[in-house]
Amino acid sequence: MHLQSYKIKAAISCNKNFSNSLNELKPFLSFDVIEIYPQTEPKTINSDYQVLITDISAYQKFIFEKINIPKILILKQNEKNTFKSKFELIVKLPINAFQFNRTVVDLSQKYKFDLNSLIKIKEYILDKNTRFLKKKESSIKITEKEMNFIEELNNSTKPLTKNYILKNIWGYSSDADTHTIETHIYRLRQKIKNKFKDENFIKNTKDGYSF
């Protein structure tokens, strides 16, 4: 049998019977199964794995509040979830191996997509998936053009001129009135100011707009 190359790594901390069953199914799974233990650092789990599979006995030993990857809780038929922590999925035994495999893959891919859609800008988070600009518990909805403008500012090492913004972000012809861009950006700055009380998120100098 050829060695399988896995792109998805699942951390598993469950009773031995379930762990052994998954290990036996390894050749047929689309993800790698790696057993972890309660002393494992949460930051190591977050950086090394795409999904965590656990059960009640293991969960009682871990500090899962600091684990940010998707979590799957495995329950026996008569067990109930007594934890307040959020699980992306709760699975009752026995499981269908094919469906479980698909679930783990889908969860890890969704997590990767969501992670790639989040951009940290100063003390803000730009969520490209939902088009929200967030700061702590507050957020504002922005337009696609405003999102592209903020992302372009974040990626640029120098201020963006009005003509550049006009042509490359708002998509207007170069001979269009730059006052149109000023109006768009003024409205965006007002939204940010009113919601976050921040007048300096987008700076405007003679060289152009920047953070």
Per-residue pLDDT of the chain (211 residues; tens, 9 = 90+): 444 556 899 999 998 899 999 989 988 899 999 999 878 888 889 889 999 999 888 776 766 667 889 999 999 988 888 776 788 999 999 989 999 999 999 998 888 877 778 889 999 999 988 999 999 889 999 999 999 999 999 999 999 999 899 888 888 765 667 788 899 999 999 999 999 999 999 999 999 999 9
Strands 124-127 and 132-135, bridge-based pairing? antiparallel
Straight-line distance from the first to the last Cα atom of the chain, in angstroms, rounded to the nearest whole number: 55
Determine the 3-state secondary structure of 59 from DSSP.
Answer: helix
The residue ranges of every structural domain in the chain are 9-116, 118-210
Q: State which CATH number among 1.20.58.1030, 3.40.50.2300, 3.90.280.10, 3.30.360.10 fits the domain covering 9-116.
A: 3.40.50.2300
The answer for residues whose C-beta is within 8 angstroms of residue 82's C-beta and 6 or more apart is 56
Rounded to an integer, what distance in angstroms lies between the CA atom of residue 191 and that of residue 119? 19
Return the residue matching tokens 């009752």. 92
* 118-210 fold: Arc Repressor Mutant, subunit A (1.10.10)
